[in-house]
Structure 1
Amino acid sequence: MDAFMSQESYIIMARILSAACLAGLIGAEREYKRHPAGFRTHLLVGTGACLAMVMALFGFQSYLEENPGVSAYDPSRLASYVISGVGFLGAGTIIVQGVSIKGLTTAASIWVVAAIGLAAGAGMYFAAILTTVVVLLSLFFLNNIERFFRSSPRDEKIEVMLDNQYAALSEIVEMFEKENVLVKKVTGSADNTEQQERKISFVFHIEGSNQMNRTHLYDQLVKTKGVLEVEMTLPS
């Protein structure tokens, strides 16, 4: 047992456990926000990267000692393969929906936890911990700053008059989702006088921005089955 748990074994155990903990912290944040790659994925990527780094540092010592004439050994080569390989895993979390792309932050976090695992595997605990803190701060708090630099969103209202004999409300909501328009609230006027004429109106409260193509959105609404009238105010 003593031979198995040598000083080198304790070092390897400390590095792998530290990588698992640091990567797990970032994964917990992704899990909390219900992203495709969560706690287990990040923990596994960070731990695997750490193991690869530990193997590069300690796994070939006996071979090098038995073959002193072998060419120069560079442990960083294995680490570079880990970084490039993790890129394919991160690409699997990216989802393209129309003109929008989702999952880039999760893909980046997977790449970062691989680097954190490599740093922990190399014994660079300070760099690994500092990077984890920076990543967590960016994921938790910098999202609001990122929104500040984007075009300022504002609530807008779109009133849609429907023929009551068609169930077109679900189609309108699906159309908004397809156009990547965030619907914050829907209100209906079911008790107005027009209800007697088999008509009903809905007011969609959406989050608008300067990039939103309102003319295209208006055309799509008018073409929707059951839509009789659309009233929307274009920003000045």
Structure 2
Amino acid sequence: MGETAAQVYDPSIWQISYLELTIRLVLALILGGLIGVERELGGHSAGFRTHILVCLGSAAIVLLSMYGFAEFAADPNVRLDPARLAAQVISGIGFLGAGTILRTGITVSGLTTAASLWVVAAIGLTVGAGFYYGSAVLTLLVVVSLFFLNKFEKKFSRTKRKQDLMMKINKDSASLNKVVTELHHFGIQISKIIVENEEAAHGDSGEMLIVRMQVKLNYKKRFEEVIVSLASIEGVIGIEAGGESL
């Protein structure tokens, strides 16, 4: 039994040359940077350097898990598990991704950036483990998804765009009803609406309504025309508009 175990055990599998280690780390830097370029060009919170650092860190951690404890590999009381630290990366990267997700009113942004950080961590793990082909294919697919499918998605959903509206309206007026009526007149569907009370500025005795809406645009007219029309309604104090970002 002991002889069989000795024949199975190969200490060389726990060793890695300096050249191979350098190649894996440099490759992680390149692949992570390729994905970070798209986020950087889009002006997102996690850009070029962030993706590089995540990918490099993931690669370094899996290298440590696989080869960092080689001197203990021959100890009969030690059982090495190369996947242990890698598993912690997959769950631990969530805190960084969560930091890129922002909620402003009814708008949630940063989801795609959070997902790109998570997949970059996976790329770092595959590179660190020496799974070169898998990491290359994964990077190619991610770059295609971010660069090309993003444009396709925008083109495909152009007729069903979503916009966020934030309006300040006099509470004592019937402006809110007029706003809803005007939106329906333009054929715009209201998917979400939040109404809040807020005291007027400069110590006025009256109050304002803060109205946040998410609307779907299923028409060919320019959205600017709708904003101008809403701004002309009596009792509407201010309007802010913005689209969804990924």
Find the counterpart in structure 1 of residue 235 from structure 2: 223
CA–CA distance in 2 between the matches of 1:119 and 1:75?
12
TM-score normalised by the chain length of structure 1: 0.64
Shift of 1:98: 1.8
Indicate conservation of the 8 Å contact 1:50/1:117, yes or no: yes
Matches within 5 A, 1:73-84: 73-84=80-91
The 1:225/1:98 distance shift into structure 2, 3 A limit, reads: closer
CA–CA distance in 1 between the matches of 2:98 and 2:142?
19
CA–CA distance in 1 between the matches of 2:231 and 2:43?
34
The unaligned stretches of length 5 or more in structure 1 are 1-5, 159-174, 183-203, 209-213, 228-236
| 1:44 is aligned to 2:53 | yes
Indicate conservation of the 8 Å contact 1:181/1:206, yes or no: no
| 1:118 is aligned to 2:125 | yes
| 1:56 is aligned to 2:65 | yes
| Aligned partner of residue 123 in structure 1, secondary structure | coil
Find the counterpart in structure 2 of residue 206 from structure 1: 223
Indicate conservation of the 8 Å contact 2:60/2:128, yes or no: yes
CA–CA distance in 1 between the matches of 2:140 and 2:231?
47
| 1:92 is aligned to 2:104 | no
TM-score normalised by the chain length of structure 2: 0.61
Q: Which amino acid aligns with 1:69?
A: N
**Match for residue 37 of structure 2 among 28, 53, 65:** 28
**Match for residue 145 of structure 1 among 139, 143, 152:** 152
Q: Which amino acid aligns with 1:22?
A: L
Indicate conservation of the 8 Å contact 2:16/2:67, yes or no: no
Report the number of matched residues.
175
Indicate conservation of the 8 Å contact 2:231/2:238, yes or no: no
Q: Which amino acid aligns with 2:223?
A: I
Find the counterpart in structure 2 of residue 69 from structure 1: 77
Q: Which amino acid aligns with 2:127?
A: A
The 1:146/1:64 distance shift into structure 2, 3 A limit, reads: same
Indicate conservation of the 8 Å contact 1:119/1:128, yes or no: yes
Find the counterpart in structure 1 of residue 167 from structure 2: none
The unaligned stretches of length 5 or more in structure 2 are 1-14, 162-181, 184-209, 240-246
CA–CA distance in 2 between the matches of 1:10 and 1:47?
16
Q: Which amino acid aligns with 2:110?
A: G
Shift of 1:144: 3.3
Q: Which amino acid aligns with 1:38?
A: G
Shift of 1:22: 0.1
| Cα root mean square deviation, aligned | 3.6
Answer with 145-154 or 107-116: which moved more.
Answer: 145-154
CA–CA distance in 1 between the matches of 2:153 and 2:17?
44
CA–CA distance in 2 between the matches of 1:104 and 1:110?
10
| 1:17 is aligned to 2:34 | no
Shift of 1:221: 5.4
The 1:81/1:226 distance shift into structure 2, 3 A limit, reads: closer
The 1:75/1:98 distance shift into structure 2, 3 A limit, reads: same
**Match for residue 127 of structure 1 among 134, 142, 145:** 134
Aligned-residue sequence identity (percent) comes to 43
